[in-house]
């Protein structure tokens, strides 16, 4: 006996929602998915009328769906936003160059202006070159730090008011778990906020409209809407620590589908003791971007790469930052600790 | 932690030549943590010192206080028991200064063990307990069906101004010590052993029904934990124990922290995994073993022959993905193998958390605590929160017809209250004796809601929970009704005021 859609009861159900387990027909699912994102945007007050918003587009499913839904909601509910696509080229052959083609196609399909910034032009290093120096274990740190700055710089070049990224519920839940496993209290407190703080010059707020959307539902939406996206994993990601958190989360989801939202709920409701040392936001003395140390992380990482000491930014070597700022030469022992391991 | 250069290999071959890192003389017999080698006597000292230091640092156990030790038969709680024994037998002034009792909850009825197995393990444990000479209580989980509703109401901790501070209390005790001899205390205490392992067949059936109405193992484990806590709390209150010591080790607590995050208990993380858990008010739960890893406990009980009994639980011999708790345990254990600092990092994270306590006020209603786990409700629907998103999703995926039927029971209840009829035992309100899922949900915190959602029939819950739920529901309805009346009255008054000329 065919199952009827639990919302309209008229049409046949074509899918089972991973989030709630209800059976829905295609149109009701589209409507529910888009409506939820609309509710998220409205209840969190993410955007104001007349703002220019850059959508971080990588060509993958999350950013494609985000671009599509933002366009749809912008028209349907008259947000009066000026949307554009911002893409970052990390220089990973076989992965990023293919996904950039997808973004260029998206630009035509959604009729949104596109800007691409690349690591090569901003920092002088591509990810391929970085991995050759650093190895396969800590490269995600470089990529992530550089990408955030690249997004910021691209946004400043375009003079936008806000950036929105395609982080979904699974991403946020993984981040909560990862921060607990790593003991990163400062990030644990901030990672569940839907948008970054907007005070401080040079800091354009970033928000996550897809925060409560399950990854599975995003895939279903993209599939049923026949959206054009690029679906391969980054070739350097298998060794990342986040992989453990992700495997755990996927297993949790198979036991209890609401676990993803439960983890986010835990992350939102937990509270940190007063008196726990928290980093204070300041500015980097070299490039002027926001930083909690004297030198921002990307300056430290770049310094390490340029000097042939790729482990400079990995691990805790805060005492050496002062030395680097003062341009003093490092001792033999310190140099040895910071050099890459031979393969 | 995830650095390229960290090197954990190459130590096994050197064990034979290693010296104890503490005394530097004896040959090392074991390595704990990554590369800390200890000889036998130094390890014993280290182990014992940790226990005393944990109690001394936190200063929550006052002299002459009655403390209940919750023993499950496993190595951790039996090691705790042996530590307490050891501590009480030392010469003053370093002696531990409290009066211990032991409690063991026999949950074989929920875990599906046969009556012979239960009797066997009870007998083994009884022999261990009588060896110690402390009062002990062996209680079967079926007793849960005869608990009073006062279990669900947090008692008030006594903010008596005459209560001395810890240091004063200790000084006072040392001065008075001459009047209290050892034999008096021991003989008085030895007569109070209670073995209440007998249970009636109806209760046994009720327990089986309760656990078979839970669909998932996760919910079963959660419910078992809750019921066990209630029973321990009740026994502690009945017999005047103001503290309960649990034997949770560091590794166990790390697993508990992660699985609680996965269950949605973020608000209560600090109480569930911290050193002291004050949510019950008059009885405080402490966890003195939280600094010990399972490895240390296992080595200690092996080397110094701590008697323990293995009793299988709900999740023994189940596969990795049987329940959230089981999955987390295997995840953390596997991760610990590749990254040995995982458990201690999680432990340190848990130390930095605290539970947000609402400001202590006289008017604080008991209804603001969860019915089952007694922590503050975290279901205030914040506009931009995960909880709000869940509600929105529920609404959008279902046909709108659902809503009016949800309001109906509440409305009809209000109707009969406004009629002025007495809602006594024979009255109208008591006709809906069985609380529906919807009614219960409003009284529970986020994660207890998930547990109840997995239940097929909520009427299998023990009577004390059902009665308390009804009571709170009624109280809430009366409160709402009164608020309505006073609002209407206020409107009338305002109306009259505006009619008369302002002064």
pLDDT at B331: 95
Residue A257 sits in the same domain as residue A299: no
The verdict on residue A4 lying in a domain is no
Which has the closest alpha carbon to A177: B258, B268, B385, B273? B258
Alpha carbon separation from A294 to A39, A123, A281, B132 (Å, rounded): 40, 19, 10, 60
- CB atoms < 10 A from the CB of B198, how many? 8
> Is residue A54 a contact partner of residue A86, using CB atoms and an 8 Å limit?
yes
On the question of pLDDT at B161 being above 60, the answer is: no
The shortest C-alpha distance from A248 to chain B (Å) reads 7
Q: How far apart are CA B113 and CA B75, in angstroms?
A: 20
Q: How far apart are CA A295 and CA A285, in angstroms?
A: 6
pLDDT at A306: 83
The verdict on residue B128 lying in a domain is yes
> Over its length of 343 residues, how does chain A's per-residue pLDDT go in tens digits?
678 888 888 888 888 888 888 888 899 899 999 999 999 999 988 899 999 999 998 888 898 999 999 999 999 999 999 999 999 888 888 777 778 888 888 888 888 899 888 888 888 888 888 888 887 777 788 888 888 888 888 888 888 989 999 999 999 999 999 999 998 888 888 888 888 876 555 578 899 999 999 999 999 999 999 988 887 777 777 777 888 999 999 999 999 999 999 999 999 988 888 877 788 877 788 877 777 887 888 888 888 888 877 777 676 655 666 666 556 565 665 665 565 444 4
Residue located via tokens 């050193």? B275
Which residues 6+ apart lie within 8 Å of B451 measured at CB?
A: B214, B218, B219, B222, B223, B372
- pLDDT bin (cut points 50, 70, 90) of residue B432 is very low
Which pair of structure tokens corresponds to residue A239?
């060794």
Residue B262 is part of which domain span?
40-155+191-352
On the question of pLDDT at B128 being above 80, the answer is: yes
Residue A325 sits in the same domain as residue A226: no
CATH number at residue A218: 3.40.50.620
Of residues B261, B265, B267, nearest to A180 (C-beta): B261
**Cβ contact B262–A262 (<8 Å):** yes
**Cβ contact B264–A263 (<8 Å):** yes
Residue located via tokens 């989360």? A249
pLDDT tens, B40-69? 888 998 998 899 888 888 888 888 889 999
Residue located via tokens 């206080």? B65
On the question of pLDDT at B30 being above 50, the answer is: yes
The shortest C-alpha distance from B128 to chain A (Å) reads 38
Between CA B100 and CA B105, with CA B102 as vertex, the angle to 5 degrees is 155
- CB atoms < 10 A from the CB of B178, how many? 7
Which has the closest alpha carbon to B96: B147, B52, B161, B134? B52
Of residues A182, A244, A252, nearest to B324 (C-beta): A252
| Beta bridge partner(s), residue B106 | B140
On the question of pLDDT at B499 being above 90, the answer is: no
Which residues 6+ apart lie within 8 Å of A92 measured at CB?
A: A126, A127, A128, A234, A235, A236
On the question of pLDDT at B430 being above 50, the answer is: no
Which has the closest alpha carbon to A234: A116, A104, A142, A310? A142
Which has the closest alpha carbon to A165: A63, A49, A83? A63
- How many domains would you assign to chain A? 2
Which has the closest alpha carbon to A311: B479, B129, B54, B3? B3
Closest chain A CA to residue B271: A270
| Beta bridge partner(s), residue B19 | B27
Residue A202 sits in the same domain as residue A328: no
- pLDDT bin (cut points 50, 70, 90) of residue B219 is very high
Alpha carbon separation from B310 to B29, B77, B401 (Å, rounded): 26, 11, 53
Q: How far apart are CA B333 and CA B117, in angstroms?
A: 30
On the question of pLDDT at B427 being above 50, the answer is: no
Residue located via tokens 């391969």? A232
Closest chain B CA to residue A242: B2
Which has the closest alpha carbon to A187: A274, A301, A278? A278
pLDDT at A20: 80
Of residues A6, A19, A180, nearest to B349 (C-beta): A180
Q: How far apart are CA A147 and CA A88, in angstroms?
A: 7
Residue located via tokens 């986040």? A242
On the question of pLDDT at B421 being above 90, the answer is: no
**Cβ contact A276–B387 (<8 Å):** no
Closest chain B CA to residue A9: B399
**Cβ contact B378–A269 (<8 Å):** yes
Q: How far apart are CA B174 and CA B131, in angstroms?
A: 28
Which pair of structure tokens corresponds to residue B338?
């590749």
Which residues 6+ apart lie within 8 Å of B81 measured at CB?
A: B69, B71, B102, B128, B132
Strongest mean pLDDT among B28-32, B193-197, B416-420: B28-32
Per the annotation, does A56 bind a ligand? yes
**Cβ contact B388–A43 (<8 Å):** yes
Residue A224 sits in the same domain as residue A314: no
Portion of chain B with pLDDT greater than 90, in percent = 25
pLDDT at B409: 37
The region that residue B10 occupies, defined by phi over 0 for left and psi between -120 and 50 for alpha, beta otherwise, is left
Alpha carbon separation from A306 to A299, A310, A328, B346 (Å, rounded): 10, 8, 15, 35
Q: How far apart are CA A319 and CA A293, in angstroms?
A: 11
Between CA B453 and CA B456, with CA B455 as vertex, the angle to 5 degrees is 115
Last residue of a domain, one of A269, A285, A314: A269
The shortest C-alpha distance from A108 to chain B (Å) reads 32
The shortest C-alpha distance from A202 to chain B (Å) reads 26
- pLDDT bin (cut points 50, 70, 90) of residue B404 is very low
**Cβ contact B266–A267 (<8 Å):** yes
Which pair of structure tokens corresponds to residue B363?
């008017």
The shortest C-alpha distance from B91 to chain A (Å) reads 38
Residue A109 is part of which domain span?
38-269
Of residues B258, B335, B386, nearest to A265 (C-beta): B386
| Range name among A209-218, B12-21, B248-257, B355-364 with the lowest pLDDT average | B355-364
The verdict on residue A275 lying in a domain is no
ipTM for this model? 0.86
DSSP-based three-state secondary structure for B392: helix
On the question of pLDDT at B367 being above 50, the answer is: no
Q: How far apart are CA B298 and CA B306, in angstroms?
A: 10
Chain A, chain B: beta-carbon pairs less than 8 Å apart: 163
pLDDT at A285: 81
pLDDT (mean) for B126-134? 90
The verdict on residue B232 lying in a domain is yes
| Residues listed for chain B | 503
On the question of pLDDT at B336 being above 60, the answer is: yes
Alpha carbon separation from B99 to A83, B103, B176 (Å, rounded): 70, 14, 16
The verdict on residue A66 lying in a domain is yes
Tell me what the pLDDT averaged over chain B comes to: 79
On the question of pLDDT at B222 being above 90, the answer is: yes
pLDDT at B184: 47
The verdict on residue B330 lying in a domain is yes
Closest chain B CA to residue A45: B384
Residue A252 sits in the same domain as residue A306: no
**Cβ contact B262–A268 (<8 Å):** no
pLDDT tens, B372-383? 888 888 877 677
The verdict on residue B261 lying in a domain is yes
Which pair of structure tokens corresponds to residue A183?
């003991």
Q: How far apart are CA A153 and CA A159, in angstroms?
A: 10
Which has the closest alpha carbon to A154: A206, A195, A106? A206
pLDDT at B401: 47
pLDDT tens, B180-191? 444 444 444 444
The verdict on residue A174 lying in a domain is yes
pLDDT at A58: 84
Residue A228 sits in the same domain as residue A308: no
The verdict on residue A16 lying in a domain is no
Which pair of structure tokens corresponds to residue A39?
């509710």
CATH number at residue B72: 3.40.50.620
Using the CB atoms, write b or e for B309-325: b if 16+ within 10 Å: bebebbbeeeeeebbbb
Per the annotation, does A262 bind a ligand? no
DSSP-based three-state secondary structure for B153: coil
Q: How far apart are CA A29 and CA A7, in angstroms?
A: 9
Query: Residue B392 CA to chain centroid, in angstroms?
Result: 32
Closest chain A CA to residue B398: A7
The verdict on residue B15 lying in a domain is no
Which of B332, B342, B349 is the best substitution to test chain A (most A C-beta atoms within 10 A)? B349
Residue A87 sits in the same domain as residue A236: yes
Chain A positions in Cβ-Cβ contact with residue B385 (cut-off 8 Å): 265, 268
**Cβ contact B349–A185 (<8 Å):** yes
> Is residue A242 a contact partner of residue B2, using CB atoms and an 8 Å limit?
no
- Tell me the three-class secondary structure of chain A, residue by residue: CCCECCCCCCCECCEECCCCCCEECHHHHHHHHHHHHHHHHHHHCCCCCCCEEEEECCCCHHHHHHHHHHHHHHHHCCCCCEEEEEEEECCCCCCHHHHHHHHHHHHHHHCCCEEEEEHHHHHCCCHHHHHHHHCCCCHHHHHHHHHHHHHHHHHHHHCCCEEECCCCHHHHHHHHHHHHHHCCHHHHHHCCCCECCCCCCCCCCEECCCCCCCHHHHHHHHHHCCCCCCCCCCCCHHHCCHHHHHHHHHHHHHHCCCHHHHHHHHHHHCCECCCCCCCCCEECCCCCCEECCCCCHHHHHHHHHHHCCHHHCCCCCCHHHHHHHCCCCCCHHHHHHHCCCCC
Backbone angles phi, psi at B280, to 5 degrees: -85, -5
DSSP B278: -
pLDDT: which is higher, A176 or B281: A176
Which of A207, A270, A340 is the best substitution to test chain B (most B C-beta atoms within 10 A)? A270
Cis preceding-peptide flag for A101 (omega within 30 of 0): no
The verdict on residue A208 lying in a domain is yes
**Cβ contact A138–B2 (<8 Å):** yes
Residue A71 sits in the same domain as residue A189: yes
Residue A303 sits in the same domain as residue A262: no
The verdict on residue A150 lying in a domain is yes
- How many domains would you assign to chain B? 1
């Amino acid at each position: 006996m065919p199952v009827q859609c639990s919302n309209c009861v008229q049409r046949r159900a074509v899918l089972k929602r991973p989030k709630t387990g209800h059976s829905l027909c295609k149109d009701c699912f589209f409507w529910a998915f888009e409506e939820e994102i609309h509710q998220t945007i409205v209840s969190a007050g993410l955007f104001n009328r007349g703002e220019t918003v850059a959508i971080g587009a990588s060509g993958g499913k999350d950013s494609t769906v985000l671009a599509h839904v933002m366009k749809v909601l912008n028209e349907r509910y008259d947000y009066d936003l000026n949307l554009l696509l911002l893409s970052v080229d990390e220089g990973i052959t076989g992965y990023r160059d293919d996904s950039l083609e997808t973004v260029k196609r998206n630009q035509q399909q959604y009729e949104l202006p596109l800007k691409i910034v690349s690591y090569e032009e901003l920092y002088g290093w591509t990810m391929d070159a970085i991995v050759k120096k650093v190895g396969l274990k800590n490269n995600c740190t470089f990529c992530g730090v550089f990408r955030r700055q690249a997004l910021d710089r691209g946004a400043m070049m375009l003079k936008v008011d806000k950036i929105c990224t395609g982080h979904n519920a699974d991403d946020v839940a993984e981040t909560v778990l990862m921060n607990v496993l790593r003991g990163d209290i400062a990030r644990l407190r901030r990672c569940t906020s839907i948008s970054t703080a907007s005070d401080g010059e040079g800091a354009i707020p970033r928000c996550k409209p897809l925060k409560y959307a399950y990854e599975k539902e995003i895939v279903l939406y993209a599939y049923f809407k026949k959206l054009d996206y690029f679906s391969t994993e980054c070739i350097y990601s298998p060794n990342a620590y986040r992989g453990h958190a992700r495997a755990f989360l996927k297993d949790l989801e198979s036991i209890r589908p609401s676990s993803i939202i439960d983890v986010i709920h835990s992350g939102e409701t937990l509270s940190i003791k007063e008196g726990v040392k928290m980093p204070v936001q300041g500015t980097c003395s070299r490039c002027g971007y926001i930083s909690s140390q004297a030198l921002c992380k990307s300056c430290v990482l770049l310094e390490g790469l340029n000097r042939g000491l790729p482990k400079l930014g990995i691990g805790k070597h805060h005492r050496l930052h002062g030395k680097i700022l003062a341009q003093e030469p490092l001792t033999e022992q310190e140099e040895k600790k910071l050099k890459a391991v031979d393969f | 932690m995830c650095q390229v250069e960290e090197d954990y290999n190459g130590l096994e071959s050197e064990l034979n030549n290693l010296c104890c890192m503490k005394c530097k003389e004896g040959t090392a017999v074991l390595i704990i943590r990554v590369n800390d080698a200890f000889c036998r006597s130094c390890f014993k000292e280290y182990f014992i010192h940790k226990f005393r230091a944990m109690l001394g640092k936190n200063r929550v156990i006052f002299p002459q206080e009655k403390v209940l030790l919750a023993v499950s038969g496993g190595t951790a709680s039996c090691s705790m028991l042996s530590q307490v024994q050891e501590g009480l037998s030392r010469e003053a002034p370093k002696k531990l200064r409290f009066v211990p009792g032991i409690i063991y909850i026999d949950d074989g009825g929920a875990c599906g063990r046969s009556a012979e197995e239960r009797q066997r393990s009870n007998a083994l444990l009884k022999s261990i307990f009588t060896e110690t000479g402390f009062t002990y209580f062996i209680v079967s989980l079926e007793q849960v069906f005869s608990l009073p509703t006062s279990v669900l109401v947090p008692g008030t901790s006594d903010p008596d101004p005459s209560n001395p501070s810890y240091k004063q209390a200790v000084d006072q005790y040392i001065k008075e010590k001459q009047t209290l001899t050892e034999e008096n205390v021991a003989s008085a205490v030895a007569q109070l052993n209670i073995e209440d392992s007998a249970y009636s067949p109806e209760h046994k059936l009720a327990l089986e029904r309760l656990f078979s109405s839970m669909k998932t193992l996760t919910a079963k484990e959660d419910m078992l934990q809750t019921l066990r806590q209630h029973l321990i709390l009740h026994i502690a209150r009945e017999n005047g124990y103001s503290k309960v010591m649990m034997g949770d080790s560091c590794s166990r607590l790390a697993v508990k922290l992660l699985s609680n995050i996965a269950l949605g208990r973020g608000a209560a993380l600090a109480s569930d995994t911290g050193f002291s858990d004050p949510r019950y008010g008059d009885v405080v739960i402490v966890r003195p073993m939280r600094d010990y890893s399972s490895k240390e406990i296992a080595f200690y009980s092996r080397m110094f022959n701590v008697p323990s009994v293995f009793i299988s639980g709900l999740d023994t011999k189940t596969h990795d993905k049987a329940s959230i708790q089981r999955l987390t345990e295997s995840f953390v254990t596997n991760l610990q193998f590749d990254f040995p600092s995982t458990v201690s990092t999680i432990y340190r994270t848990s130390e930095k958390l605290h539970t947000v306590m609402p400001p202590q006020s006289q008017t604080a209603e008991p209804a603001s605590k969860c019915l089952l786990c007694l922590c503050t409700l975290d279901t205030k629907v914040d506009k931009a929160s995960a909880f709000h998103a869940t509600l929105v999703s529920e609404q959008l995926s279902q046909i709108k017809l659902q809503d009016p039927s949800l309001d109906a029971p509440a409305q009809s209840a209000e109707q009969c209250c406004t009629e002025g009829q007495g809602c006594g035992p024979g009255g109208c309100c008591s006709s809906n004796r069985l609380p529906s899922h919807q009614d219960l949900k409003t009284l529970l915190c986020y994660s207890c809601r998930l547990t109840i959602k997995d239940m097929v029939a909520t009427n299998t819950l023990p009577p004390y929970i059902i009665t308390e739920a009804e009571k709170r529901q009624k109280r809430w309805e009366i409160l709402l009704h009164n608020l309505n009346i006073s609002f209407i009255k206020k409107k009338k008054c305002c109306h009259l005021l505006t009619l008369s000329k302002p002064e």
